[in-house]
A and B are shown apart, each in its own frame.
Chain A
């Protein structure tokens, strides 16, 4: 059991690392690859939790997540990026070291905030709740800092990854209804956004949010 716990801890740490990597990645194509990696870590984490509890629905959830987040969504995002021809654009971020420092601050904050939640649970919960919360805040930070619509969406998808990570690690999986709902929403969301992007591109000739936002009158 201890090896299992440490394996989950290791995966949790990798999950956080992936969140940091996404925060500092400037090119969209690499960002999508990192998103797929984060999905892979999430799916194996759920699979381990499924093994630990022996519950069939967690296995199903792991499979669903793997299919969606390693294969389907990254493929959709890649084809979108290719058709919009933005995959190798460099994004102008705030200074990367500054962003990393802010991110570090958020992680410390998240671990502190997670303390009261983690107390009643088992030991495995403490670190993972903190990490889930930290990854959530990092994805929010990424959404705030990014200037183009497509990378904001990836930030949003990373946010959703962190939520599922939280749901799995805190409660060993919620009943399936929620997971199916999320999966469905992700698909619908991506399709809607795909439609959306083409219109944004048509209207503004750019996916840059600043230009879209400044267009009120």
Chain B
């Protein structure tokens, strides 16, 4: 009975997408979207209870599976997509009222939102590297439609760039997937050569030459989606031009899901190659992303672009830590993924609300928030302090652990990391401070909104920073063992 629970959890958003598409532009679509996301969250909790009781399990003839590496990401996707749907209800209503969005597109918006959540859950739960690829492609197509939702020239340009870059990326990832299948084909044969569970059991016997080339294609392919540095050109545009709830889930969830795919393949490639070469590749990509991401921050004027570059930096940091390998670095990277997902979505919730209230995304045009709307101002300040890694927030803990791991394994990289983190801290805090505490500008009627979602996230991030729950720590440790050499 509980074997099919996993399939149900994945199917809820898909069924929800059909329902929401049928509801179209009706007002009930907003609440239905929240209800579907809540149902997904309930499904995820049900699944989590099962994992806590029995450990990893698979269902549907081993087509779906959960293990410590995926379980916390699934919970994260379910939780953040739920809070985002709550935020989206008030935010998108205001967008329609302000005349930014044609209400006729609400049906597409809600349906594609759920298709996107479905694609991410499928990517995380499927046991099949082919289905993983299909899910990632599905996520690309659904988000391309979401980014172009406003149909403005800038949003169409951003969506086009996103589609073409991520399309090529995803095509290269398919070539990598084909090569992994080719390498595993001679060992396992047939359909089993696509299953993670079977691949891991024979990883030492895969052909190293093929796995090396395959991993290059996979890291470039899925890395495009993560926003690793030479391939990150789509990311700032997509985050800035799409609707804010989509920026939150893109940044918080999709990037992490793509990184999850790379991490799984890295474990496979390292097993086949018996060296840390795939890890070195990830260190290189990660460090470049951290540096370029941090140094691009200072030239940004658009509030959402600023935080988009911060995502490049944070994803680079997580990739770097996974590349270092070993229990400590992997633990830190997983914690960083979790903390980043929660913090960045909170940052986007608040900065979206700020931009909506101020009527502009230009940071020079936003001043004196704390006088106009104290709650919003302080939430933005707290979220920004959380994202730059101030204690007691979770990102502080994960960045601290990553630095310690780097001191052990690659001491040369520590000054570079500190420099990048310092620059990011200075730029983001200076920018936010000017927006929150600056002289009050032209007064604008504040739009009614709920700050429940960012509050909930901030509370969780503080908990994560002060005392990581025992269960989560146990999952991280087990996952680190799974990924580790």
Interface residues of A (CB under 8 A from B): 113, 116-117, 119-121, 136, 140, 143, 149, 152, 156, 159-160, 163, 166-167, 170-171, 174-175, 177-178, 181-182, 184-185, 188-189, 192-193, 195-196, 199-200, 203-204, 209, 212-213, 215-217
Q: What residues of chain A lie closer than 8 Å to B182, measured between beta carbons?
A: 117, 121, 170-171
- 10 A–B contacts from the bound complex (CB under 8 Å): A121-B182, A136-B175, A167-B181, A171-B178, A174-B130, A181-B133, A181-B134, A188-B141, A192-B144, A203-B153
Docked-complex contact B156 and A199, CB < 8 angstroms: yes
- A129: nearest chain-B partner, CB-CB: B182
Instruction: Decide: A175 near B156, CB < 8 A? Known: A116-B209, A117-B210, A119-B209.
Output: no
Instruction: Decide: A199 near B151, CB < 8 A? Known: A163-B175, A215-B157.
Output: yes
Docked-complex contact A178 and B133, CB < 8 angstroms: yes
Instruction: Decide: A120 near B134, CB < 8 A? Known: A166-B175, A200-B160, A215-B154.
Output: no
Of A119, A159, A181, A209, the residue contacting B130 (CB under 8 A) is A181
Spot the interface stretch: B12-20, B183-191, B313-321. Answer: B183-191
Q: Report A87 CB to chain B, min CB distance, Å.
A: 21
Q: What residues of chain B lie closer than 8 Å to A213, measured between beta carbons?
A: 157, 161
- Give the CA-CA distance A121 to B185 in the complex, in Å: 11
- Give the CA-CA distance A150 to B389 in the complex, in Å: 44
- Give the CA-CA distance A215 to B237 in the complex, in Å: 11
Q: Taking the complex as formed, is B435 at the interface, i.e. its CB lies under 8 A from any CB of chain A?
A: no
How many residues of B are counted as interface, with CB atoms below 8 angstroms from the partner's CB atoms? 42
Docked-complex contact B130 and A178, CB < 8 angstroms: yes
- Give the CA-CA distance A163 to B186 in the complex, in Å: 20
Docked-complex contact A185 and B137, CB < 8 angstroms: yes
Q: Report B361 CB to chain A, min CB distance, Å.
A: 11
- Give the CA-CA distance A47 to B207 in the complex, in Å: 28
Of A166, A195, A199, the residue contacting B178 (CB under 8 A) is A166
Docked-complex contact B178 and A174, CB < 8 angstroms: yes
Docked-complex contact B185 and A171, CB < 8 angstroms: yes
Known: A170-B182, A174-B130, A200-B156. 11 other contacts (CB 8 A): A116-B213, A117-B179, A119-B209, A159-B171, A166-B175, A170-B178, A175-B194, A181-B134, A189-B167, A199-B151, A203-B152
Most buried by A among B141, B157, B194: B157
Q: What residues of chain A lie closer than 8 Å to B153, measured between beta carbons?
A: 203-204, 212, 215
Docked-complex contact B138 and A212, CB < 8 angstroms: no
Instruction: Decide: A203 near B156, CB < 8 A? Known: A120-B207, A166-B178.
Output: yes
- Give the CA-CA distance A136 to B175 in the complex, in Å: 10
- Give the CA-CA distance A217 to B153 in the complex, in Å: 10
- B129: nearest chain-A partner, CB-CB: A178
- Give the CA-CA distance A59 to B33 in the complex, in Å: 42
